[in-house]
Amino acid sequence: MYQYDNYDQAMVDARVDEFRDQVKRRLAGELSEDHFRPLRLKNGLYLQLHAYMLRVAIPYGTLNSRQMRALGDIADKYDRGYGHFTTRQNIQYNWIKLDEAPDLLADLAAVEMHAIQTSGNCIRNTTADHFAGAAADELVDPRPYAELLRQWSTFHPEFDYLPRKFKVAIIGSETDRAAMKLHDIGIQLVKNDAGEIGCRFYVGGGMGRTPMIAPVIADFVPPLQMISYLEAALRVYNRYGRRDNKYKARIKILVHEIGADEYRRQVDAEFAHILTLGLEPPPAELERIKGYFANPGFEADLPDNVDLSDPDFALWVDQNVHAHKQPGYAIVTISLKPAGGIPGDASADQIRLMADLARDFALDELRVTHAQNIVLPHVKKADLYTVWQKLDAAGLANANLDLISDIIACPGLDYCSLANARSIPLAQKISERFADIGRQREIGELKLKISGCINACGHHHAGHIGILGVDRKGTENYQLLFGGSEAADTSLGTIIGPGFNEDGIVDAVEKATDVYLAQREDGERFLDTYRRIGVAPFKEAIYG
Amino acid sequence: MKILTGNDLPSGDVIWWTGEGWSRHVDDAVEVGDEAQALIAREDAARRVNGAYVIEATRDGGSVRPAHIKERIRALGPTVRLDLSLKPADPAAGTWVI
Amino acid sequence: MVDLVFADNVLRFRDDDVVSDPAVTVDAFVDAVSGQPNASAVRVEPGDDARALLPHLDRLALVEVNFPAYTDGRGYSAARILREHGYTGELRAVGDVLIDQLSHMRRCGFDAFVPALPISADAAAKAFATWPEVYQKTVDGRTPIWARRHPVA
């Protein structure tokens, strides 16, 4: 994976110095909170319900073991012994002190990490396919392009005060594991008939209060013009995105209001101009970055068989292990979703254990998934049993990937100052109700996603079953949505009827799965059955 | 009654105005009446609080109950990590917020 | 490169005289009939299209770009567009211009600053020196990191 050179290191070090000075000025009263807030937000530091929260960037969700270990140590040193992996492949800490935040950033910088632009109205941390460089179905490894994008977007002087936040995702296979079309910009690396790589730009997707699926704005941009195209796309947004209403300020509203064709026309005009300026890094720079992502040390001629005689292990392999492009290797996903647990939370000890496993068994790499799980991308099949045993001993061998208890949930009203209702207790109750793994596997793939407010950090619009928490006259109320998907068949869920209280929504979810089990045809997932039979039978069972 | 809350500037801790200073415990909160805006301006300028604001609450004997669930969760701590809340020994503390 | 100077309440990276002509609106400047076709200074508001000035760059000595609120970043694009099209006169950021934005403004082509709340020359000089290197090529002439990594012989 990528390693900083002196230039990269100097940038994050400078950022630590700058933030240390800003914190000093705030504590000394030289900066008001109004002026300090956007500065701390650009370093991922929020003021949440109980304390400051710090969001650390994990560029395109990729970490090495040393970085992962540092994240565990930071949880102990600056927080209360745990961290929360987020739907944007980052980690956040819930109990940070303002006067210690600069030291924390310095500790991050020591392992080539930072919290730059993890909040604020700027280009946020780029996300990517969490199986990049490992997936058997991969066409192009998106990570070198994501790293190019990371450097370009870091401290971009023109786009630091955009109308609203800006999220970019990049993938390189037909299978979309990054919810790419639900981003401000989604880039899919494709190949044309001549075998040349190009960037397909989807612009104007997003969730939030006005969910939209991004249309294709450019079908094939040469990779060595990717940065120039981004400059053009962002400039049009910076100049013409709405600033009169923060709820209409995302690029999806601009693209929707002027239309994809007009937006494309404006970007094309700007792109033609920008191509004359020579802003693009040279081919040698992309090649330099690619060098870091070449073969991480795969061994040849490894055995491809796995002894599945232990039934619990076999179950986990079936559910949580994916095919690798390299013979003899497999991709392991560690579920952070134990029954009754807090989705995405991991203790400092668990974080360090995962770091050790990556160092010893996964060619030193880890990934964070947007579904709030952790990936060991390169595990020898011969090591799978050992890895599973070590995970099991740490409570990390939950064999529920993509099942109903593999729930995405935002922090909700337990932590977040924007939330209207709690998300985590619902996730806990649902995962306990369906704790029986045999029952979960009978139901099969079912992506359940919970948000505690309309901002949709829990991706409720994109859940096969989505749940949205609202505030109804001071009490928590939950709306149920069906039919969303963030995969290649992207769709937006719709609210099926009146909301429920906490227990009511758990019952409603169970009734929905009963309808599905009774009505499904061969090979259908919950989502497929819902799409085929429509909402009526579900409403009948739930409200009838 | 109306009480005043905010966060401690360096630590971020949730704090409540006691009439003389700031406390981590909502039960120490007092009615602020008409003084609130002047108090906020003074305490904010002295950097003894960050982002102070007034909320509705009721007092019943020695305990103060904010009117809105968000403020009750602020007063207690995360209901899913009661071990980290202000009432780690009370397993029923979570029901107080509802 | 010209050093930072502090003259007539303007922080500048220019050694020519400070332009003191009154700045007119973009509409007045470009409207040859009812406007002020002899003006040499113009004030760009966030909602103005800086491209309207492009046919008239040769008669401009000063462009003021107003930041009514520092959170409105349209002025950064306006500045870059003017520089990218060859404007060489004074490009002045005015209004809610804060120390933490100075470095980015300079990178987008501003070479003069009149903050509503004055910033000392020392503090400004420190702010301009925040970033030892830069990742992007813009209009300030700085060599981006990618070019340093791959020097052209």
Residue C153 has pLDDT above 70, yes or no: no
Q: Does A318 touch chain B (CB under 8 A)?
A: no
Residue C19 has pLDDT above 90, yes or no: no
Q: pLDDT tens digits for A348-398?
A: 999 999 999 999 999 999 999 999 999 999 999 999 999 999 999 999 999
Q: pLDDT tens digits for A31-90?
A: 899 889 988 998 999 999 999 999 999 999 999 999 999 999 999 999 999 999 999 999
> What are the φ/ψ torsions at residue C142 (nearest 5 degrees)?
-70, 145
Interface test with B, best of A33, A47, A49, A410 (most B CBs within 10 A): A49
Question: Which residues, numbered 8 to 47 in chain B, qualify as contacts with chain A under a Cβ-Cβ cut-off of 8 Å?
Answer: 9-14, 44-45, 47
Q: Do chains B and C touch (3 or more CB pairs under 8 A)?
A: no
Say what the pLDDT of residue A433 is. Answer: 98
Q: Does A232 touch chain B (CB under 8 A)?
A: no
Q: Does A277 touch chain C (CB under 8 A)?
A: yes
Q: pLDDT tens digits for A462-510?
A: 999 999 999 999 899 999 999 999 999 999 999 999 999 999 999 999 9
Residue C35 has pLDDT above 90, yes or no: no
Residue A23 has pLDDT above 80, yes or no: yes
Residue C34 has pLDDT above 80, yes or no: no
Is the Cβ pair A285, C105 closer than 8 Å? no
Domain ranges in chain B?
A: 2-71
Which of B68, B69, B86 is CA-nearest to residue B77?
A: B86
CB B2 within 8 A of CB B33: yes
Residue C1 has pLDDT above 70, yes or no: no
- Number of helices (H), then strands (E), belonging to chain B: the values are 3, 5
Q: Model confidence at A255, in pLDDT bands (50, 70, 90)? A: very high
Q: Does A283 touch chain C (CB under 8 A)?
A: no
Is the Cβ pair A49, B70 closer than 8 Å? yes
Q: Does A23 touch chain B (CB under 8 A)?
A: no
Residue C32 has pLDDT above 90, yes or no: no
Rg, chain A, Cα only: 23
What gap in Å lies between CA A474 and CA C27, rounded to an integer?
Answer: 51
Residues in a beta bridge with A198: A190
- Which domains does chain A possess? 6-109 (3.90.480.20), 142-291 (3.30.413.10), 311-393 (3.90.480.10), 408-543 (3.30.413.10)
Residue B55 has pLDDT above 90, yes or no: yes
Q: Which residues of B touch A428 (CB under 8 A)?
A: 80
Task: Write the CA distances from B15 to A283, B2, B5, B29, integer angstroms.
Answer: 55, 15, 6, 9
Q: pLDDT tens digits for C48-95?
A: 999 999 999 999 999 999 999 999 999 999 999 999 999 999 999 999
Q: Does C117 touch chain A (CB under 8 A)?
A: no
Give A95→chain B minimum CA distance, Å.
8
What gap in Å lies between CA A415 and CA B78, rounded to an integer?
Answer: 6
Contacts of A457 (CB under 8 A, 6+ apart): A86, A87, A410, A411, A416, A451
Q: Which residue has the tokens 């994976």?
A: A1
Q: Does B68 touch chain A (CB under 8 A)?
A: yes
**What is the torsional sign of CA A54, A57, A62, A66?**
negative
Q: Which residues of C touch A277 (CB under 8 A)?
A: 84, 137
Q: Model confidence at C31, in pLDDT bands (50, 70, 90)? A: confident
For chain C, the chains sharing at least 3 beta-carbon pairs closer than 8 angstroms are: A
For chain A, the chains sharing at least 3 beta-carbon pairs closer than 8 angstroms are: B, C
Closest in A151, A277, A288 to C84, CB measured: A277
Q: Does C93 touch chain A (CB under 8 A)?
A: no
Q: Model confidence at A118, in pLDDT bands (50, 70, 90)? A: very high
The pTM for the full model equals 0.96
Question: Which residues, numbered 98 to 127 in chain A, qualify as contacts with chain C under a Cβ-Cβ cut-off of 8 Å?
Answer: 121
Q: pLDDT tens digits for A509-524?
A: 999 999 999 999 999 9
- For chains A and B, count residue pairs whose Cβ atoms are closer than 8 Å: 72
DSSP A90-144: -EEEEEE-GGGHHHHHHHHHTTT-B-TTSSSSSB---EE-TTTTTBTTBSS--HH
Q: What is the distance of C-alpha C20 from the center of its chain?
A: 16
Q: Does A359 touch chain B (CB under 8 A)?
A: no
Give B91→chain A minimum CA distance, Å.
15
Give C132→chain A minimum CA distance, Å.
7
Q: Which residues of A touch B80 (CB under 8 A)?
A: 342, 414, 422, 424-425, 428
Is the Cβ pair C77, A235 closer than 8 Å? yes
3-state secondary structure of A164: coil
Is the Cβ pair C84, A273 closer than 8 Å? yes
Is the Cβ pair A474, B69 closer than 8 Å? yes
The average confidence (pLDDT) of chain A is 97
Q: Model confidence at C7, in pLDDT bands (50, 70, 90)? A: confident
Question: Which residues, numbered 24 to 43 in chain C, qualify as contacts with chain A under a Cβ-Cβ cut-off of 8 Å?
Answer: none
Task: Specify whether the backbone of A85 is left (phi greater than 0), alpha (psi in -120 to 50) or beta.
Answer: beta
- Report the greatest alpha carbon distance in chain C: 54
- The mean pLDDT of A285-309, rounded to a whole number, is 96
A316-330, A454-468, C14-28: lowest mean pLDDT where? Answer: C14-28
Interface test with A, best of B26, B65, B69 (most A CBs within 10 A): B69
Q: pLDDT tens digits for A335-354?
A: 999 999 999 999 999 999 99
Say what the pLDDT of residue C36 is. Answer: 78
Evaluate whether ipTM surpasses 0.90: yes
Q: Which residues of C touch A8 (CB under 8 A)?
A: 145
- For chains A and C, count residue pairs whose Cβ atoms are closer than 8 Å: 94
Which of B61, B49, B40 is CA-nearest to residue B12?
A: B49
**Amino acid occupying residue A65:** S
Is the Cβ pair A243, C46 closer than 8 Å? yes
Which two structure tokens, joined as six digits, stand for B38?
Answer: 């002047």
CB A92 within 8 A of CB A78: no
Residue C109 has pLDDT above 90, yes or no: yes
Q: Do chains C and A touch (3 or more CB pairs under 8 A)?
A: yes
- What percent of chain A has pLDDT above 70? 100
Residue A146 has pLDDT above 70, yes or no: yes
What gap in Å lies between CA A243 and CA A224, rounded to an integer?
Answer: 32
Contacts of A344 (CB under 8 A, 6+ apart): A84, A85, A86, A336, A372, A409
What gap in Å lies between CA A12 and CA A8, rounded to an integer?
Answer: 7
Question: Which residues, numbered 329 to 348 in chain A, qualify as contacts with chain B under a Cβ-Cβ cut-off of 8 Å?
Answer: 342
Closest in B50, B69, B84 to A33, CB measured: B50
Q: Which residues of A touch C131 (CB under 8 A)?
A: 11, 14, 155
Say what the pLDDT of residue A441 is. Answer: 98
What gap in Å lies between CA A435 and CA A504, rounded to an integer?
Answer: 18
Is the Cβ pair B79, A422 closer than 8 Å? yes
Is the Cβ pair C146, A151 closer than 8 Å? yes
Residues in a beta bridge with B2: B56
Residue C138 has pLDDT above 90, yes or no: yes
Closest in A10, A22, A284 to C132, CB measured: A10
**What is the torsional sign of CA A502, A505, A507, A509?**
negative
Say what the pLDDT of residue C6 is. Answer: 86
Is the Cβ pair A50, B78 closer than 8 Å? yes
Interface test with A, best of C97, C111, C135 (most A CBs within 10 A): C135
